[in-house]
Chain A
Amino acid sequence: MTDDKDVLRDVWFGRIPTCFTLCQDEITEREAEPYYLLLPRVSYLTLVTDKVKKHFQKVMRQEDISEIWFEYEGTPLKWHYPIGLLFDLLASSSALPWNITVHFKSFPEKDLLHCPSKDAIEAHFMSCMKEADALKHKSQVINEMQKKDHKQLWMGLQNDRFDQFWAINRKLMEYPAEENGFRYIPFRIYQTTTERPFIQKLFRPVAADGQLHTLGDLLKEVCPSAVDPEAAAVIHLYSQLKHPNHLHPRKLNNSSACSSKHDYKLFGAFLKG
Chain B
Amino acid sequence: MEEDEFIGEKTFQRHCAEFIKHSQQIGDSWEWRPSKDCSDGYMCKIHFQIKNGSVMSHLGASTHGQTCLPMEEAFELPLDDCEVIETAAASEVIKYEYHVLYSCSYQVPVLYFRASFLDGRPLTLKDIWEGVHECYKTRLLQGPWDTITQQEHPILGQPFFVLHPCKTNEFMTPVLKNSQKINKNVNYITSWLSIVGPVVGLNLPLSYAKATSQDERNVD
Residue-wise interface mask of A (112-140) relative to B, using a CB-CB cutoff of 8 A (1 in contact, 0 not): 11101001101110010011001100010
**A66 beta carbon closer than 8 Å to chain B:** no
Q: Which residues from B are CB-within-8-Å of A113?
A: 150-152, 159
Contact, CB under 8 Å: B125 / A114: yes
**B198 beta carbon closer than 8 Å to chain A:** no
Task: Kindly state the separation between the CA atoms of A80 and B154 in the bound complex, as whole angstroms.
Answer: 13
Task: Kindly state the separation between the CA atoms of A80 and B157 in the bound complex, as whole angstroms.
Answer: 12
**B146 beta carbon closer than 8 Å to chain A:** yes
Contact, CB under 8 Å: B159 / A116: no
Which residue of B37, B150, B154, B157 is within 8 Å of A200 (Cβ)? Answer: B154
Task: Kindly state the separation between the CA atoms of A63 and B151 in the bound complex, as whole angstroms.
Answer: 28
Which residue of A111, A114, A195, A202 is within 8 Å of B104 (Cβ)? Answer: A202
Which residue of A80, A110, A134, A198 is within 8 Å of B166 (Cβ)? Answer: A134
Interface extent on B, as a size class? Answer: 20 to 34
Task: Kindly state the separation between the CA atoms of A202 and B158 in the bound complex, as whole angstroms.
Answer: 23
**A17 beta carbon closer than 8 Å to chain B:** no
**B156 beta carbon closer than 8 Å to chain A:** yes
Contact, CB under 8 Å: B157 / A139: no
Knowing A135-B105, A197-B154 are in contact, say whether A110-B159 is a contact too (CB < 8 A).
yes
Question: Which A residues between 74 and 129 are near B, CB-CB below 8 angstroms?
Answer: 78, 80, 109-114, 116, 119-120, 122-124, 127
Contact, CB under 8 Å: B106 / A134: yes
Question: Which B residues between 21 and 56 are near A, CB-CB below 8 angstroms?
Answer: 35-37
Contact, CB under 8 Å: A196 / B35: yes
Q: Which residues from A are CB-within-8-Å of B106?
A: 131, 134
The chain B residue sitting closest to A142, CB to CB, is B166
**A62 beta carbon closer than 8 Å to chain B:** no
**A24 beta carbon closer than 8 Å to chain B:** no
Q: Which residues from A are CB-within-8-Å of B152?
A: 78, 80, 113, 197
Q: Which residues from A are CB-within-8-Å of B36?
A: 194-196
The total of Cβ contacts below 8 Å across the A-B interface reads: 66
Contact, CB under 8 Å: A139 / B166: yes
Interface residues of chain A: helix, strand, loop or mixed (majority) = loop
Residue-wise interface mask of B (71-95) relative to A, using a CB-CB cutoff of 8 A (1 in contact, 0 not): 0000000000000000000000000
Residue-wise interface mask of A (191-223) relative to B, using a CB-CB cutoff of 8 A (1 in contact, 0 not): 000111110111000000000000000000000
Task: Kindly state the separation between the CA atoms of A111 and B158 in the bound complex, as whole angstroms.
Answer: 6
Task: Kindly state the separation between the CA atoms of A51 and B146 in the bound complex, as whole angstroms.
Answer: 28
Interface extent on A, as a size class? Answer: 20 to 34
Q: Which residues from A are CB-within-8-Å of B104?
A: 200-202
Q: Which residues from B are CB-within-8-Å of A196?
A: 35-37, 154-157
Residue-wise interface mask of A (126-162) relative to B, using a CB-CB cutoff of 8 A (1 in contact, 0 not): 0100110011000100000000000000000000000
A119 vs chain B, min Cβ distance (A): 6
A196 vs chain B, min Cβ distance (A): 6
Contact, CB under 8 Å: B149 / A130: no
Task: Kindly state the separation between the CA atoms of A213 and B204 in the bound complex, as whole angstroms.
Answer: 44
30 chain-A/chain-B pairs, Cβ below 8 angstroms: A78-B152, A110-B158, A110-B159, A112-B159, A113-B152, A114-B159, A116-B126, A120-B125, A120-B145, A120-B150, A122-B145, A123-B145, A123-B146, A124-B149, A127-B151, A127-B164, A131-B105, A134-B106, A194-B36, A195-B36, A195-B155, A195-B157, A196-B36, A196-B154, A196-B157, A197-B152, A197-B154, A197-B157, A200-B154, A201-B104
Chain A contact residues, CB within 8 Å of chain B: 78, 80, 109-114, 116, 119-120, 122-124, 127, 130-131, 134-135, 139, 186, 194-198, 200-202
Known: A110-B159, A111-B159, A196-B155. 5 other contacts (CB 8 A): A109-B159, A112-B159, A113-B150, A120-B145, A198-B154
